[in-house]
Amino acid sequence: MPFDKTTATLLGKSIPQPDSLEKAVGETLFSDDIRLPGMLWGLALRSPFANARIRRLDVSKAKALPGVRAVLTARDIPGVNRRGNMPGNRDDQPVLVEDRTRAVGDPIALVAADSSETAKEAISAITVDYEQLAPVEDPLVSLEPDAPLVDEEGNVIGDLGYTRGDTEKGFSMASAIVEETYRTQFAEHAYLEPEAGVAWTDPGDVLHIRCGTQWVENFRHIARILGVSHNHVRIESPLVGGGFGGKIFMTIEPLLALLAKATGRPVRMALTREESILSSTKRHPYILRYKMGADADGRLTALLADLVGDVGAYSDASPVIAWYSIGFLGGHYRCKNVQVHSRFVLTNNPSGTAMRGVGSAQITFALEGTMDSLAEKLGMDPFEFRKRNHLSKGESLSTGQPLKNAVFFSETWEAADKALDRALLRNSEEIPKLSPKVLRARGHASNMTGYGRRHGHLSQAQVSVQFDGSAVVSVGVADIGSGQRLGCQQVAAEVLGLPMDKVTLSTSDSQLNPIAGMTAGSRTFLNAAGPVQRAAEPIAKALKEAAASLLEARIDDIILADGKAFVKGSPSVNVPHAQLVPAAAAAGTSLTQLGTLKIEEDLYPGEETAHNAGWLDYTFGGMAVEVAVDPQTGQVMLLGLGISHDVGTAVNPQIVVGQCEGGVVQGMGLALTEDCCVKRGKAEAHDFSTYLIPTSLDIPSIEVAILESGEGEGPFGARGIGEPPHNITPAAIASAVSRAIGVRVTSLPITPEMVLTALRTGEWPH
């Protein structure tokens, strides 16, 4: 029975998150908020060097200190000394360094002690004799044939690409050609909650790890490291204090696991902010060369994209992210002659990983910049130029993948532009105060973001109804604050016709909950709430059957809402769920159902090369922003920003708007201030006074315009919205700044120094 939107009671309602009440009063126990009896303190000794051989490692003094319960090195790892992280990578990252460090922050030894002071003392008592080697800092150097090997298997971990048509011919037909190289920076996820957690072993010899993560399925990697079977490791993620991609793959979990196993006692670890930034993964810097040509009518004739991604020291998630990027490099524009090439290269820099807008934020910035330049060269309005080239529903991406659902290109562009007008109006008090010397301009961008990787395994969820009509949802997905649990709850309540408070949640426990994959890639509403919907539907059907017989009506006329069943149009004659559930049980219906979602491989014929690059569906959007650039200081001020995305169906508008606002502000950081400043493999920006994320004083007036085509693959036709608002922002801001200063911005972040140099020289500095 397809879901009837017209009788929905919770769909489209801005219901607050179920956990916000506890969060508001300080009751939520985050990763570092529990203490267990006999708990030890864990600490890691980390490499200060990006590339060094360890000649000698002596832990004897540390071991001899009173109060020290364990000192572990690579030799003490009972299983396999590899983090694993992402299936399909090189499996090149040790948990503890064996004889060579490849990155600053690589853990070399672990200590568990009675107190944090003793643990610190033990760490300082460890002596390491390093032979420092020159780090490979530049991916372009790393690509050279005689470059020192970062990894024995070679420095290039992904060399992918595809060709459609004939780009040479395409360029020969062009009346305007633009070729530009764009660069982006190492960016830090900067979740407010640093990595922390506790691990302990229960009497059944199951190791528990309570540590905020975006992926409870990491228990498999832990089991391999410990040399135990999968059922002996259980990951329970508390509510996570922010993730943004940085907590998908294991952070401190393997360290906690080793220490808890070795000591037989509960162990707690909590990273300082500095250790967090020093040791955590980052957004990959990209070097992107785009060459695009168009004919005199403004139709694209050729597109050439060449990407070099800085993987950092370990392959981690890079092989997959390389594929994501391949999917976006060809853009969302119509072009017959396309050549796309991408190489992901190891260096001794911090490891790159997923970060909000994975593999697409950097590309959107470069692609949209090149589109703007080409429009300018053609003397065309950027919107008009894009309109001629933007793909529509039913057409195919250059990878060959058909776009099955709505493509709201003009709609989102125009809505964003109007939203910007409203934003400026709201800011109308501030604008007249600007000096007449400032350079003001409006910029735009359009974007496409994938959601629902097609190669995910099964995602499952369980829904049970109780005799009193209430329900429990169980799903192994982590909540990182953007409404993952709420989405599952709201969908279950809608389908079962229950008020929100009659649906409770059990989530993010790798042994108790059916597994639903990682909280990442704008996938969770589709991949977690989707299975919840599938689990709830047969129960709803059984309840309707019970109601139909009690009310002597046709099942199709039965409505479930607010904990009652009634015949459409006459809600006063009703039967409560408390009566329906026992009746359904008596009729032999299982009150517990498992819902399964599998995204089919769905190969598009003849396009195997690019096949891995595709997502189930895409979210399209537009952004408009107005900036004021101070020509004296180079400072960029955002006067207003309008954003619009087609979210398919806005199941919870407040969540959608929250994702837009939060994503925009993060994107602003990426555009203007955030840079890890990696030198000799080390993030020089090591805290929040050097790594600058936006504060409340930096934000512009933001207006969000939600569009709903109704065509999405998530429950009730929703599309993913976690990442799209973020990855379009740097592109739109760069577009506005480029216009204001008359120089194309080709690198991030757009610092005042860069702006001043560009104003002085007429070129964007690299």
Binding residues (CB under 8 A) for another protein: these are 14, 16-17, 19-30, 32-33, 117, 190-194, 239-242, 244, 270, 272-273, 480-483, 654-655, 657-658, 661-666, 687-689, 693-697, 699, 702
Closest separation in Å from C-beta 190 to ligand FES: 9
683 binds, among ligand FES, another protein, none (CB under 5 to 8 A by kind): none
Report how many helices (DSSP H) and strands (DSSP E) the chain contains, helices first.
20, 30
Closest separation in Å from C-beta 543 to ligand FES: 37
Residues 349 and 360: their CA atoms lie apart, in Å, by 21
What is the token pair recorded at 281? 């993964």
Closest separation in Å from C-beta 276 to ligand FES: 12
CB nearer to another protein: give 30 or 604: 30
**Is residue 98 packed enough to be buried (19+ CB in 10 Å), middle (13-18) or exposed (0-12)?**
middle
Residues 143 and 553: their CA atoms lie apart, in Å, by 71
290 binds, among another protein, ligand FES, none (CB under 5 to 8 A by kind): none
CB nearer to ligand FES: give 214 or 470: 214
Q: Which residue of this chain has its Cβ atom nearest to ligand FES in the complex?
A: 192
Residues 162 and 462: their CA atoms lie apart, in Å, by 41
509 binds, among another protein, ligand FES, none (CB under 5 to 8 A by kind): none
Residue 436 main-chain phi, psi, to 5 deg: -65, -15
Q: What is the contact mask toward ligand FES in residues 439 to 478, using x (rule: CB under 6 A)? A: ----------------------------------------
CB nearer to another protein: give 239 or 407: 239
Closest separation in Å from C-beta 138 to ligand FES: 34
Q: Is 192 in the site for ligand FES (CB under 6 A)?
A: yes
Residues 28 and 23: their CA atoms lie apart, in Å, by 5
CB 703 within 8 Å of CB 422 = yes
**What is residue 298's DSSP assignment?**
S
Residues 667 and 360: their CA atoms lie apart, in Å, by 12
Beta strand pairing call for 592-597 and 570-576? unpaired
**Is residue 168 packed enough to be buried (19+ CB in 10 Å), middle (13-18) or exposed (0-12)?**
exposed
- # chain residues binding ligand FES, by CB under 6 A: 3
Residues 586 and 435: their CA atoms lie apart, in Å, by 76
CB nearer to another protein: give 102 or 686: 686
Closest separation in Å from C-beta 194 to another protein: 7
CB 325 within 8 Å of CB 285 = no
Closest separation in Å from C-beta 725 to another protein: 9
480 binds, among another protein, ligand FES, none (CB under 5 to 8 A by kind): another protein
22 binds, among ligand FES, another protein, none (CB under 5 to 8 A by kind): another protein
CB nearer to ligand FES: give 54 or 664: 664
Closest separation in Å from C-beta 276 to another protein: 9
CB nearer to another protein: give 16 or 165: 16
Q: Is 481 in the site for ligand FES (CB under 6 A)?
A: yes
* CA atoms in the 13 A half-sphere facing the CB of 700: 34
**Is residue 103 packed enough to be buried (19+ CB in 10 Å), middle (13-18) or exposed (0-12)?**
buried
CB nearer to ligand FES: give 479 or 675: 479
CB nearer to another protein: give 665 or 678: 665
Closest separation in Å from C-beta 309 to ligand FES: 28
CB 164 within 8 Å of CB 396 = no
Closest separation in Å from C-beta 667 to another protein: 9
Residue 413 main-chain phi, psi, to 5 deg: -60, -50
When binding is defined by CB under 6 A, the residue of 16, 48, 148, 242 that contacts ligand FES is 242
CB nearer to ligand FES: give 161 or 242: 242
Residues 190 and 280: their CA atoms lie apart, in Å, by 10
Look at residue 218 and give its three-state secondary structure: helix
User: Residue 681: what residue type?
Assistant: G
CB nearer to ligand FES: give 206 or 692: 692
Work out the widest C-alpha separation in the chain, in whole angstroms. 84
761 binds, among another protein, ligand FES, none (CB under 5 to 8 A by kind): none
CB 73 within 8 Å of CB 236 = no
Instruction: Tell me the residue ranges of DSSP E strands in 347-487.
Output: 352-353, 439-453, 459-465, 471-475
Closest separation in Å from C-beta 440 to another protein: 21
Closest separation in Å from C-beta 194 to ligand FES: 10
Closest separation in Å from C-beta 657 to ligand FES: 14
445 binds, among ligand FES, another protein, none (CB under 5 to 8 A by kind): none
CB nearer to another protein: give 270 or 338: 270
CB nearer to ligand FES: give 183 or 273: 273
Residues 373 and 379: their CA atoms lie apart, in Å, by 10
Runs of H (alpha helix) within 427-529: 484-496, 524
Q: Is 48 in the site for ligand FES (CB under 6 A)?
A: no
Q: Is 21 in the site for ligand FES (CB under 6 A)?
A: no
Write out the residues near ligand FES by the rule CB under 6 A.
Answer: 192, 242, 481
